[in-house]
Each structure stands twice: as structure tokens, then as C-alpha cells.
Structure 1
């Protein structure tokens, strides 16, 4: 029996947008199912917000097609007006009407009779714990409360798709996590497909069912948060999620020689310069024992001597910077809790082989290789 794949709620096919001859959005394709949260993640200026505007219908693509529930809503000839696309919008600027009450803000744009609209407004304000403010005004609310009113207003018409452009960046850290979780819960209950734009990796990892990593107008990697984090497509993808350490080496006989021993580089031609990339939390620290360190192991490789340059406590972890005796380079390590060795102390470092990535030096590789 053949299992049919459900039709995507949102289906973007090869959309492109050029501004002054430059491809701001370059051949972007994306599918989002009902009830799914996808984060469009990338640095400022990479084309994330432009992509959202094209989906919303406030900006036209130069090529490509956009479908909702299998029906074409926009190509370069045909175009459904923005107000008929059943797409909700949430932005960093809550854009509440200051002269309207909370109830009138939430009910703005709702169709139906007065009693029906009032019932929907009361339902949503109750779900975001703001029913007591139903007859109040935006200026009487805190930033977090205004954000929840904006959420209720966006969801009120029951949009099939919700587009969110960094809607939580204006909130302080204490409010942000709670309101993000509350927002996602409500959107999933409504079975809404969500496309969230953010430049914060932690937000994407926390919220998304799927991450689309964008750079220079293109989606360079797409998948579940765990897969995007643990199988990065290139060095820049690793670095976008965390600090990185980089070791340079030259390949000889499919092996790259470093201070930590040899790394496998299968399929890489001899003489190719490569970079071994790994995160600070995967650098293991050991004590110096009369000039000797730990024994080499298949999982951690060969230990290398290093001298402590600086150590800082960051709250939940400690960051230690080491100068390598091998070549004078600086490597960073993070460890849980408090660990603050004094400057100048000699220690030994090893790196988990299965947490390292080998990429051609100075180039965005098509895929990272994890040494065995």
C-alpha cells in the first residue's frame, strides 16, 4: 500500500528576487506542512525578510511560484491579493492601534456578526491570559502583554500560515522564553504552518521543527535542528551556531597531520589544504603529569600540550583559552561549572574525533566529512 505524502500547507518553488541587479533571494524552495514550524535562519541582509514579504504578497518575485494547500497563489503573471491569502503576519513592531481597545485590536479584520466576533476575541484573550484587559488600551500593557495581544490578533482570523519576522527580539530575556513557548503552543493548536525568520541560532533550535539556513540569498542547508547542528554543510554553518576552533593541515595519503595526530580525509587529493573544525565544548582538558599527558586513544586522538592564556566564568560554564605549543595558535575550550586554571599553566588537550569536521580550506564545501 502506497502512503501518500500530504500536500504542503506552504510550497515555495524556486523564487528569486533581484534588486538593482543583485539576487537578494536566489532560487529559494521550501515546503512547510500544517502544524509545522520552520525557521529561516541567517545573518542580517541574507534575504530572509524579503522571502517573507514575497510570501505575504507585499513584494513580487521575479521568478518562481508560491502555493498554499496545493493551489497557486502567485507566480510572475497570476497573483492572489495579500488580503485573500489567509496568511497572518507578526513582526518585531507589534503595530497595535493605540486608539482601539484590546478587544478591538484583536477583532480587527474579523468577519461575522458582533456576537461571533466578540466570542472569538474572548476565547483568544483567555488563551493568552489577558481577558482581564479586554476593555483596556495598548498603552496600559507591558511589552510582553502587547506581544500576546498582537499574537491573538494575528491568529484571530484562523490563518492557514503564520509569517513571523523576529517577533520576540524586542522582549527581554526573562519574558522571551515563556512567550515563545506560549506562542508555539497556540499556533500548533490551530494547526497553523509557521515560517519564523530569525538571526538567533538558539531561538531557531528552541522553536523549529525544521531549520532552513540561509546565506547570500540562498538556502545552504535544511533539516531538523539536530541534523543541521551535527552535520553542518561547511565551516560557516558550524560557526553560525557556536564558536569554533580551526586546525589547518595538508592532506597526504587521505590523512591530515595535526598536533592532535592524523585525521581522515577520504577522497581529498594530496596537497589539498584543509581545515579541521570543532566546537569548544568538544575540546577535552587534562592535567600535566611531570611533562606527560594522557595516552592516545582512537576516540580522542593524540594529546597536545598547551598553555593557559585566559580563563573566565560565564555563569553556567567556564571558557578557557589556550596557546598551543605546537604552533602558537589559540584554541578555546568550554567546560560546565567553574574551572579557572591560572594563566601560564601547562595542560594537555585532546579533541573528540567524532565531533570534528574536515573542509577544504577557504571554501564552502558541499558537505562536511566527519573523520572516523
Structure 2
């Protein structure tokens, strides 16, 4: 838990970076406490890695400040060199030295007496369960083992801050979850502030104490994973975490009328075009009973008639695609376990009102 009486371990204020007149990082600010993991999440090319490089000191910002434990380490005048920032780096490319043993790779950035360096190497390799490979070379290890060596090397100098740029994307899916959890445990034990760059929402949700959602060089939303997921700032924020369905409507008397009934649109003037966004897992399905569906309810609204166009079993859930009878639009629903209705079957769909988001058309 972050101590609010202490300055954050890492604070960046209003960072800006331009390339050939184009702004690629635009007024980015973050605060990360000791032991906290923040994920900078966004699509490729949105400025995540550039932000990391500025914090590491390998690239200079055009404006803004970087502070570590309340001390200014970089602005457009002051610049502490990268090697004195006590910041560790981990990248997708493990960048292990092929001609050095595991022990020498981990010890590469260490200073002090030989005995102290060796003790630190053995301690970390024991914690990542690689002590038995201490004299091996990188080519003798699996990808997951190389990742753990890279982690031990990054932790060896006891950095106060760890910057991680897509560090798990090269791992096999079955290895990835275990390595991520192990990495997170070690970083928490070291009380390291972590800034993790990823374009994978699942990774951010699994690892982060806080998510900063980035788009076109700016942070558009920041908060705990639950809040970012359940209170998205716009349609694009919803879509970044999952597939979406979208209904279009127009506001009249703070209400938007759709085939699923009315949706509240408070604060929007009459005539405003809106998009009602909801995820496939929040669509409820019911069978047709002689041309009738379930009765309307306050929580689920009015049922709308749909015709199955395709259904597929995906392993943990089934995906059903519908053509809506009211206007021919397409909607998708996901159902736990196996549910594969025949093409052409008529069903009734309802949408949970507390899982819908109403945005003015064009927002996000």
C-alpha cells in the first residue's frame, strides 16, 4: 500500500516529445509509489515506449520533468545520466550476453567485493529457481529460463524503479502467466516501483495496480483496473478491452429510444446522436415462445428479436452472432460453456442496463 505521506518513487510531469514537428508524447503525467505496478496500456505507436525511453534517460524530452523519490533527475536543463538513475530495464529482447555464463550475466551491473557480488547472484538465482543453472550459458536455457535470468540481472543492482517494455510477449502462452506472476512477486518483494508497457489488456488487468490508457500520445484514462474497465471514458476505451456491440439512437427528453427500449442519456440535449455500447457477455438470450419473448424488466429493458446467423464454441464460451429483426443490424453475444443454436433460429435478446455505456456519437 502506497504511503501518501512520502513522495512517489517515480513522478513524471507533463512530458512532451516531438519528432520532426509531430508530437508523439503529449503532456503525459504519472505518479508511481514504491511497490506499485502501473501499466501504460495502448495500441502500437501511441507513445508508450518513447515515454519509457525518456524516463530511462536514453532519450530527452522536449518539455516536462522526471522525479525520483521527490528529487528532480531530468528536465530540459538538468539531466542525471542513465547509469545514475537507479532504474532497471527489461525488454522483449532479453539481451543476455551469449558469451557470459548465467552468473556473469546477472553480475554484470553489480559493484563491490567479489564475494558480495557472488552472494547477490546466488540469492537472486535461487529466488527465480535457476541456481542449478548458475554456470550455464544462455543458449542452454529455454525462453522462460532466459526471461528469469534477465529479471534477476535487472533486479541485481536493487533498482528503485523497473521499466518493462513488452517483456513477456516473446513467451509461449502457457509459460507467460507463470513468468508474469513470478516476476510480479519478486518486484513486490523488492519494493520496486514498476512501469510496464503493454498493448495487451489481459496483461495489464492481471499485473497492474493502476492502468494508464494511452492513445495518440496522451493518457486518456487512468485508474484501478476495475474502474478503467467498468467506467470507460469513451467507446474506444470500451473496445480496447473487449469486443463491443453498438446501437445508435437520438436523444429526446434525456432518453434514447432503441429496439431494446429506452436508455437514459442525462445531460445531453435533445437531438444529440448517441452510441449505446455494450459487451457481448452482457447480452442475455431467451428462447422464442410462439413469437413471444420474455417480459420487459427495469434491469434488462425490452427484449428484441434476433435471428442466429452463426454460432461457434470457443472453449470456455460460445459466440453467437445475430441479425436483428428490427433493422437488420448485427449483434454478438457470448454464452458460458457450450451453446451452439442452429442458423436461422429465432431468439430474444436483452441487454443489462447497468452494463451499457451511452456516449455522444464520435466520442472516442
TM-score range, shorter chain: over 0.9
| Superposed displacement of residue 6, structure 1 | 2.2
Alignment CA distance shift 1:40-1:288 (3 Å) = same
Alpha-carbon distance in structure 1 between the residues aligned to 2:35 and 2:159: 12
SS of the aligned residue for 1:257 comes to: strand
Paired residues for 1:69-108 under 5 Å: 69-108=69-108
Runs of 4 or more above 4 Å deviation: none
Counterpart for residue 273 of structure 2: 273
| Superposed displacement of residue 82, structure 1 | 0.1
Paired residues for 1:198-347 under 5 Å: 198-347=198-347
**Deviation string, structure 1 residues 177-201 (Cα, Å, up to 9, x no partner):** 0000000000000000000000000
**Deviation string, structure 1 residues 27-47 (Cα, Å, up to 9, x no partner):** 000000000000000000000
Counterpart for residue 113 of structure 1: 113
Paired residues for 1:104-253 under 5 Å: 104-253=104-253
SS of the aligned residue for 1:51 comes to: helix
Alpha-carbon distance in structure 2 between the residues aligned to 1:308 and 1:136: 57
Alpha-carbon distance in structure 1 between the residues aligned to 2:217 and 2:86: 26
Alpha-carbon distance in structure 1 between the residues aligned to 2:32 and 2:6: 10
Alpha-carbon distance in structure 1 between the residues aligned to 2:175 and 2:194: 21
| Superposed displacement of residue 362, structure 1 | 1.5
**Deviation string, structure 1 residues 142-166 (Cα, Å, up to 9, x no partner):** 0000000000000000000000000
Alpha-carbon distance in structure 1 between the residues aligned to 2:290 and 2:140: 67
| Superposed displacement of residue 5, structure 1 | 3.0
RMSD: 0.7
| Superposed displacement of residue 109, structure 1 | 1.3
| Superposed displacement of residue 4, structure 1 | 5.4
SS of the aligned residue for 1:284 comes to: strand
Alpha-carbon distance in structure 2 between the residues aligned to 1:19 and 1:276: 37
Alpha-carbon distance in structure 1 between the residues aligned to 2:197 and 2:333: 31
Counterpart for residue 367 of structure 1: none
SS of the aligned residue for 2:111 comes to: coil
Alpha-carbon distance in structure 1 between the residues aligned to 2:267 and 2:100: 65
| Superposed displacement of residue 363, structure 1 | 2.2
Alpha-carbon distance in structure 1 between the residues aligned to 2:174 and 2:357: 35
| Superposed displacement of residue 312, structure 1 | 0.3
Alpha-carbon distance in structure 2 between the residues aligned to 1:52 and 1:16: 12
Counterpart for residue 369 of structure 1: none
**Deviation string, structure 1 residues 62-107 (Cα, Å, up to 9, x no partner):** 0000000000000000000000000000000000000001000000
TM-score (norm 1): 0.97
SS of the aligned residue for 1:275 comes to: strand
**Deviation string, structure 1 residues 168-221 (Cα, Å, up to 9, x no partner):** 000000100000000000000000000000000000000000000000000000
Aligned residues: 362
Structure 1 stretches lacking a partner, 5+ long: 365-372
SS of the aligned residue for 2:286 comes to: strand
Alpha-carbon distance in structure 1 between the residues aligned to 2:132 and 2:95: 21
Alpha-carbon distance in structure 2 between the residues aligned to 1:350 and 1:176: 37
